[in-house]
Amino acid sequence: MTQVRTRFAPSPTGFMHLGGLRTALYCYLFTKKNKGKFILRIEDTDQDRYVEGAVEVIYDTLKGCGILWDEGPDIGGPVAPYVQSERKDTYLPYAKELIRKGHAYYCFCTKDELQERREAAEKRGETWKYDKHCLHLSQDEINAKLDSGMPYVVRQNTPTEGESDFDDLVYGHISAPNETLDDMVLIKADGMPTYNFANVIDDHLMGITHVIRGMEYLSSTPKYNLLYKALDWPVPEYIHLPTVMRDSKNKLSKRDGDAYYSDFIKKGYLTEALINYLALVGWNPGDEREFFTMDELIEAFSVEGLSKSPAIFDISKLTWFNAEYIRRLPPEKYLKMATPWFNEALSGLEIDYHRLAELMQGRTEVFNRIPEMISFLKERPEFDTALYENKKQKSSLESAGPALNLSKNLLLAVDNWTEENIHQALIGGIKEAGLKNGTVLWPLRIALSGLLSTPGGAIEIAYLLGREETMKRLDSAIRELP
């Protein structure tokens, strides 16, 4: 049985798009499930879009996500090189073979000529595709143009009759009338192959058995298959993946900050949560499980579970996943990850980060939300005294004054400012006064934080603030009462 060989072939044009990352993930899962080889190939034929440092971004992103390749530019392999620009001399001989067989031809049309003919077709209400103008040149005309150094591209000579069809493991049988297929460029004027040509040549030479990619390439696949057949090469199996969408109408976009892996990592999403959720965007394991390690994803993955419909990347669902992953972090790891966010909000303060982390871990959904949640520790926001009203806690605006004064007197008596001593002083004093805990602790928490919702209650907040700040805020709150 032939060993499964797949490839992930990103272009180094910037950050890793979530759609591309999911393609890499599915490709990796499929390959490892089938004990195959996963290949990383850099497709940099479009030099105008090349971004310096983007290759390193690809490496770092995949490694950070646990998607490790068996062959690639940095580790080599039996079919190196794995960077298309380093394979430049590979492609033209195959283009010339296609020309000899009549499946491709030289095209000398200039951009201006093409634009003029395109506009003329549009005026006639026609959909423009290349009109095979240069296919009809005689060999003498072609030779004269080549000898004169006239710039040219090589175009595929697609048939104008019949149909081209293929089978996709997700979308089933696909058929396209040949008359709708364009004579796409194979070799550009700079001598570089187009993606459309290079991916066919490289996939064959690298022994790729299964091509896994986004469904945006579904319509181009008949043209690719014509090239395989023209070169007498076996056609690989195809697995086209549903598009990743932000909602039913919109794709993920850079402008909205939800298109790239790095966008989410900077916000404080965990890679493990993102990969786990991304695996479920367009794939169903066939049972009720939602949480998977990478090894469990490999074991569970199947092509049959892939959806044909566009897949919605629900950020709310991702956030839920992320919160669950954060809750499962070892406390010390959470503290380490949260500390930079604590520092952002609390610079210059002496706060017990260990205790703050204990209070925050179960409330953290995304790390970048931490500063806003704890900023009250640095400066209490202004608040409406109506917040003292809470029927459940048996607290009212009228009872708040006596309650805050009681809290002040009880806290003034605390010698050693520990959370345990604060707790004993307040709870003991409240009991002795014959009051309900909520009647005193609710207005105390409001007075210290200015917020309805906080990590921890009045006792924990008083401990974190320290004696001086606690008493300062209490005095201020008492003065502000009507």
Residue 321 lies in a domain: no
Provide the CB-side half-sphere exposure for 380 (13 A, CA).
24
Query: Is the distance from CB of 27 to CB of 188 less than 8 angstroms?
Result: no
User: pTM of the entire structure?
Assistant: 0.91
Into how many domains does the chain fold? Answer: 4
**Do residue 100 and residue 228 come from a single domain?**
yes
Alpha helices in 280-417 (DSSP H): 294-300, 315-327, 331-346, 353-360, 370-374, 397-412
How much is the pLDDT for 150?
97
Same domain, 176 and 220: yes
Of the three residues 222, 241, 260, the one that is the final residue of a domain is 241
| Contact of 95 with 154, CB cutoff 8 Å | yes
Which pLDDT does position 45 carry in this prediction?
81
pLDDT of residue 256: 65
In this structure, the answer to whether residues 417 and 475 fall within a common structural domain is yes
Check if the beta carbon of residue 166 is closer than 8 Å to that of residue 139.
no
User: Active site includes 254?
Assistant: yes
CATH number of the domain enclosing 57:
3.40.50.620
> Do residues 370 and 269 both lie within one domain?
no
In this structure, is residue 323 part of a structural domain? no
Instruction: Please give the residue range of the domain that contains residue 358.
Output: 330-377
> Are 117 and 221 in the same domain?
yes
**Omega before residue 242 within 30° of 0, cis:** no
Residue that finishes a domain, picked among 241, 264, 293: 241
Chain centroid to Cα 407, Å, comes to 49
Q: Output the pLDDT for position 251.
A: 82
Same domain, yes or no: 99 and 188: yes
Are both 253 and 336 inside the same structural domain?
Answer: no
pLDDT at 36: 98
Check 101, 254, 333, 336 and give the catalytic one.
254
The two structure tokens encoding residue 321: 């996943």
Residues 91 and 210 in one domain: yes
pLDDT of residue 13: 87
pLDDT of amino acid 226: 97
In DSSP notation, 183-223 reads --EEE-TTSPBPHHHHHHHHHHHTT--EEEEEGGGGGGHHH
130 and 194 belong to one structural domain: yes
Query: Does residue 325 fall inside a structural domain?
Result: no
**Mean pLDDT (10-residue bins), the chain, 482 residues:** 94 91 98 98 85 93 97 97 94 97 97 94 91 96 97 97 95 94 95 93 98 94 97 98 89 74 95 97 95 97 96 95 98 98 95 98 98 97 95 94 97 96 97 96 97 96 98 96 88
Whether 460 and 351 share a structural domain: no
CB 34 within 8 A of CB 239: no
